[in-house]
Structure 1
């Protein structure tokens, strides 16, 4: 996977190289099409003026004049009709020139060697100190005809190059700016989409789709979409929570209102209505108490008070408290509770055992069996609750720890409950770094195993 850093570095290097090469070729095109013809014309004009000056002043010492002119920054060569040559100033690096060209100049034609120089790179073409890269003009002096060849030396040529260098720099900067703008747009585009997705989520629309990329922005987009999915899930649960709590509060309030109406209108069996009202009030009290417990656990306002205490004694007391319910439904209880010391919050864990045992009793038919088993190994303690009750459908088992969720989704309320007990139990077990597992078969019963690790006390800090 290419990181955004790598892409940025590679893109910058590519832009620099591409801009430089492109500007080089554009500048070369400018040189070939404009600068070289202008240089040829300028040099031709100078050569013609020098020849005209010499021809108008026949008494002028030709060698001295040409030597002085060459000293100002030019390469000069004279070739007579017998092909005798003489150079003035710094010599040409290459004096190769076909005889036909020399003869044409001797016969009165002007040789435009600078303009006709082969189409090579501008550096080679501009600085090539060769005779064929010069201007040839016929010169008549002292009854002799010469081929007069002239070209600027490197110093003057370099001074002339500032236009070309300026064009090269300008083209490089312009191309770099254009490419940077394009590449920046490519990099910024996914950020703009993320911004739009943020606004969409703020408006309550969690269904967003971002482009897949193999870099940090791609990872951010993937995380953002995962976050949107989780927010959507939380929003659905929030709405479901509001619906459930509204139902669970409204139902007993409606019952209380109905019973109060009956009490006002009738003069008999008021005691029975009073008992029903009291039951509904208890139901509301239990609900609000469990909601308060969940809120406290969620916000971690309650400090978990870890200590060593006897778990087997705690479970024995719990079984004794529910003895009357065992007898009421003719349930058989079996338990194996070896002496076990656990490190945990006794008050919170008591809520867990109480909830699991009460659920086992609720969902086990008359003459059923409930078993509690306590196991301990080197690093964990497990408490197992088993019953042969109605069981939980497989498709429902993943949701039983959700708040307000009850398997009797139609809410017949044939079995009392708020749907919060298992959510509270799971929250408490997680505060102890433990796990709670469910194995159940419809019509055959349910086994719930709570495992609490027993390592160093620092594990809970």
Structure 2
């Protein structure tokens, strides 16, 4: 099966030209059949009749002399047969073999019949006429040895070429419709997509370049549909996340307008307003950070540093979070030098460790380990906290997603941290996954390449 569009076009063109030429040949032959007959048969008959009259008027010897000197012998070859089958010829065939004349044809002509050998229905290749001389009745056979007149040939070739071009063009147009139909379908589908309708089906079953293009187009449509759905969810989530702190700020600000409010209540309201404003600020910073990462406008600042030392520094930096709850760390950190963006990976460990602390029980242990091989380094951070359900694990890295919504107020956050973590790890050509069971803790596994990531 031919799959290449280039091969199809070439073959269609060749078939169209050959088919058009054949059609034009038969059409021209059919249309000009009478003219061809007139041009090829009638002059031959007239010439033969002239020879017959010459032998009727002149004596045999003078007639032979006259015929042998005729200029028309350049175009005709004459044979005159007697009743014995022997013949006398006039003219030359220029090396060609003469048409075979049978004794049956000779007898028919001598009996007074006119014999025409016409194999293709147009050009007569042999004409037999009865010839009466002083010696009795003979059979004269004439065959043309020269092409038709040049003027007719030019006219016939011109018409043949014209019909050939017309027929070939019509065939090419018909074939082009077959090739262009799927492209028209994709054009129509593009208009629907531009109008916001992503529910389009091309139903193109062709293979090759057009089939590949159609399937890629359908995949693009599906991805655009998902992107549009994500955009709507994003707008909905942002509106929801912003609405909650704004409602709190507005409510407590109105409460502060009361004149008889006590100082401790006023301070509590102010603390809530400050906390909600800080939450909105952090969410705004997270959105900006994620937007920069996704647009690739923030380039990786690659430096070589000690990964195990970086994680130790992060743990020390967030000591107030874990020491207040008497949480301990069990470290198994293999010494690893890594070339990566120090600040971005610092944010990765801060977010993951911060979540582990947030969702761990008091007096629990968080395990952190680093293992490396020749190509990769694997970092595992495990806690014994509340865990994540299997259904929530599938969406844990989506923006604004919060696994434990029943405790969303208790465990404050915007749901942007792990989305940022996922993007940073992806930019470093790494991988992050989560293993968790509700009530038994969660493990985040980050795999990074020891080789330099491509920006």
- TM-score clears 0.5: yes
Per the alignment, residue 42 of structure 2 pairs with 41
Change (3 A) 1:378 1:60: closer
1:270 aligns to what?
266
C-alpha distance in 1 between matches for 2:423 and 2:334? 26
Q: What is aligned with 1:130?
A: none
1:420 aligns with 2:421: no
Cα distance in 1 for partners of 2:428, 2:213 equals: 33
User: Structure 1 residue 442: deviation in Å?
Assistant: 2.3
Q: Quick check: 1:192 aligned with 2:184?
A: yes
Judging changes above 3 Å, is the alpha-carbon distance between structure 1 residues 109 and 332 closer, same or farther for their aligned structure 2 residues?
same
Task: Report the alpha carbon displacement of residue 282 of structure 1 after superposing the two structures with TM.
Answer: 0.9
Q: Tell me how far 1:283 sits from its aligned partner.
A: 0.8
Ranges in structure 2 where 5+ consecutive residues have no aligned partner: none
**Conservation of the 8 A alpha-carbon contact between 1:54 and 1:60:** no
**Native 8 Å contact 1:404 1:420 kept in 2:** yes
Residue in structure 2 matched with residue 129 of structure 1 by the alignment: none
Please name the residue that 2:287 is paired with.
291
Q: Aligned to 1:154, what secondary structure does the other structure show?
A: coil
Which deviations, in whole Å up to 9, do the C-alpha atoms of 1:358-413 show, x marking residues without a partner? 11122224454322223344444333210122222223323211211222468954
Q: Measure the CA separation in 1 of the matches of 2:175 and 2:427.
A: 50
Change (3 A) 1:160 1:90: farther
Aligned residue for 2:69, secondary structure, equals: helix
Q: d(CA) in 1 for partners of 2:75 and 2:102?
A: 25
Shift of 1:248: 1.1
- Give the length in aligned residue pairs: 447
CA distance in 1, matches of 2:418, 2:40: 93
In structure 1, C-alpha distance between the alignment counterparts of 2:316 and 2:399, rounded to whole Å: 29
- Residue 146 of structure 1 aligns to a residue in which SS? strand
Give the C-alpha shift of residue 156 in structure 1. 4.6
Tell me the secondary structure at the aligned position of residue 190 of structure 1: helix
| Deviation at residue 328 of structure 1 after TM alignment | 4.5
Match of 1:247 in 2: 240
Distance in 1, Cα, partners of 2:148 & 2:18: 30
Q: Which of 105, 113, 120 matches 1:109?
A: 113
Aligned equivalents of 2:405 and 2:90: distance in 1?
110
Gaps of 5+ in 1: 127-132
Alignment partner of 1:177 is 2:169: yes
- Match for residue 226 of structure 1? 219
Q: Which runs of structure 2 are paired with 1:15-54 in the superposition (5 Å)?
A: 15-24=16-25, 35-36=36-37, 39-52=40-53, 54=55
Which aligned pairs between 1:73-152 and structure 2 lie closer than 5 A? 73-81=75-83, 83-90=85-92, 93-94=97-98, 96-111=100-115, 113-114=116-117, 117-119=118-120, 133-142=125-134, 144-152=136-144
Q: Distance in 2 between matches of 1:103 and 1:207?
A: 85
Distance in 1 (CA, whole Å) between partners of 2:79 and 2:305 is 114
